[in-house]
Amino acid sequence: MDEPFVKAKKILTTLHNNGYEAYFVGGSVRDYLLQRPIGDIDIATSARPEQIMAIFPKTIDVGAVHGTVIVLHNDEQYEVTTFRTEEGYDDYRRPSHVEFVTSLHEDLKRRDFTMNAIAMTIDGSIIDPFGGKKAIEEKRIQTVGDPNERFFEDALRMMRAVRFSSQLSFLLCKETESAIKENAALLKKISVERITIEFEKLLSGPSCQESIPILVKTNLFQYLPGFTDEIQSLVRFSYYKWSQLQERAEYWTLVCYLLNKNDSKAFLRQWKLPNKIIEQVVKNRIFLEKVIQTGWNKRLLYDCGIECIQQIERILEVLRIHQEVSPLQKFKKLPITQRSELDITGEDFLLWYKQKPGKWVADLYEIVENAILENKVENNKEKIKEWLLSCNQK
Ligand code: ATP
Ligand code: MG
């Protein structure tokens, strides 16, 4: 048994010694069977929340009405949850109330996917009533029971299915995928905060590139804030190795860049992201566009600062791999690509300055071209005239 479980055994022993059943459950058992690094250890028990709090010296009541108590042991936190079913789903959200039950089997049955509905005893025996181990071996994501019913109960499970496909490099089984397609619109009922957590996990998973097309195929993307009708941009999401990014702000900067959102702030507010992240993305976005246009220069580096430079470089790396910012792309994005595109001619200079032709005309051409390339002035006759006169060029 892996080290994190060994450390947590004491919790199970204490529960057993007090006459309760207790098992390791959920993601940690799945990850153990997959030989992946184990995250949080969840424990399911027949003890009621008040009984859990009575037998452990250090506990935090994080949701006793839903059956969950955090037990602190040797500087670790363990979520200990009473066996329960979830009843009376209001509006396809979280259950309106939970019912505590006495059997582990009932508790496993309410869990989302077969791979997450496996329990492990203190001595490492596996209890797997829904064929979760086989699903893991076959790298398959399948709901416990009828997928339509399970997504109807809690629509977030559809997002969870896609994020697990990204994190674990698993495939959705056929029925599960078609049920998502059928029920995608139910995602509207889910709070944005819960969707955001799953979407971020999806983007940072190693198989994100394979999972994005599932969002497209199932139509689930239509119900992500700000993604309605963004199918073309979303398809481009799957070109990039998102997992090379590190910070949350980097992910969201790339999202805004690929969706070409004019107002990143409004878009990110829809996702209910913290202000700190929103501010960082807005800053990243401005500098990203500038660096793509002109490359780094001293002023840009100075204004951007070390943290932002590192974030932008990682984003550029992801974009470069796909040649998104090759010199050719940069060339195509220039405000003008040759002199004939200028909205003015030498005649205009002669007219404006009322002087004889001479070398000054060629010099002026160059000044105007530079100003347009540097975005100091728009390629528009009136604007150029205004700019030339205002800064007294020539
Ligand atoms: P991670 O490694 O990302 O934490 P996890 O499987 O542990 O993955 P959690 O969100 O921590 O996911 O949930 C713990 C367990 O609770 C799951 O493995 C699953 O058994 C159950 N669960 C979580 N969310 C749901 C849900 N919406 N519906 C049904 N069961 C759920
Ligand atoms: Mg977990």
CATH of the domain at 116: 3.30.460.10
Residue 6 shares a structural domain with residue 127: yes
* Of residues 178 and 295, more confidently modeled: 178
pLDDT for position 330: 75
C-alpha separations of 333 from 298, 355, 375 in Å: 22, 35, 12
Q: For residue 113, how far is its CA from the centre of ligand 1 (angstroms)? A: 9
Confidence at 326, pLDDT banded by 50, 70, 90:
low
Q: Give the residue from 100, 123, 138 where a domain finishes.
A: 138
| Cα separation, 378 vs 381, whole angstroms | 9
pLDDT for position 394: 58
| Cα separation, 278 vs 230, whole angstroms | 21
Give the mutation target among 31, 36, 42, 194 for probing the ligand 1 site: most ligand atoms within 8 A of CB.
42
C-alpha separations of 219 from 56, 180, 185, 186, 187 in Å: 47, 8, 8, 11, 11
CATH of the domain at 324: 1.20.58.560
pLDDT for position 174: 96
Q: Of all atoms in ligand 1, which is nearest to the CA of residue 167?
A: 3
Residue 176 shares a structural domain with residue 48: no
pLDDT for position 255: 97
Q: What integer is the mean pLDDT of 82-88?
A: 79
Residue 117 shares a structural domain with residue 27: yes
- Residue 163, pLDDT > 80, answer yes
Residue 149 shares a structural domain with residue 133: no
- Residue 157, pLDDT > 90, answer yes
- Residue 238, pLDDT > 70, answer yes
pLDDT digits (tens, 9 = 90+) for 105-150: 999 999 999 999 999 999 999 999 999 999 999 999 999 999 999 9
Residue 288 corresponds to which tokens in the numbers above?
Answer: 């990203």
Atom 18 in ligand 1: residue holding the nearest Cα: 26
Is 91 annotated for ligand binding? no
pLDDT for position 293: 85
Q: For residue 42, how far is its CA from the centre of ligand 1 (angstroms)? A: 9
Residue 94 shares a structural domain with residue 152: no
Q: Give the residue from 228, 244, 260 where a domain finishes.
A: 244
Atom 5 in ligand 1: residue holding the nearest Cα: 27
- Residue 358, pLDDT > 90, answer yes
Output the average pLDDT for the chain: 92
pLDDT for position 391: 78
- Residue 98, pLDDT > 80, answer no
- Residue 2, pLDDT > 90, answer no
Pocket residues for ligand 1 (CB within 6 Å)? 26-27, 39-40, 42, 111-112, 116-117, 154, 156-157
Residue 300 shares a structural domain with residue 216: no
Residue 180 shares a structural domain with residue 259: no
Contact 285, 253 (CB under 8 A): yes
Residue 2 shares a structural domain with residue 131: yes
Residue 369 shares a structural domain with residue 319: no
Is 263 annotated for ligand binding? no
Q: What integer is the mean pLDDT of 217-222?
A: 96
Q: For the chain, what percent of residues have pLDDT higher than 70?
A: 95
Q: Give the residue from 192, 221, 244 where a domain finishes.
A: 244
- Residue 231, pLDDT > 70, answer yes
Residue 230 shares a structural domain with residue 219: yes
Q: Of all atoms in ligand 1, which is nearest to the CA of residue 154?
A: 27
Largest CA distance in the chain: 104
CATH of the domain at 164: 1.10.110.30
- Residue 91, pLDDT > 70, answer no
pLDDT for position 108: 96
Q: For residue 354, how far is its CA from the centre of ligand 1 (angstroms)? A: 77
Give the domain extent around 270: 245-334
CATH of the domain at 379: 1.10.246.80
Domain count for the chain, please give it.
4
pLDDT for position 286: 95
- Residue 184, pLDDT > 90, answer yes
Residue 80 shares a structural domain with residue 6: yes
Residue 281 shares a structural domain with residue 300: yes
Atom 15 in ligand 1: residue holding the nearest Cα: 26
Confidence at 23, pLDDT banded by 50, 70, 90:
very high
Is 157 annotated for ligand binding? yes
pLDDT for position 96: 59
Residue 185's identity, in one-letter code, is: A
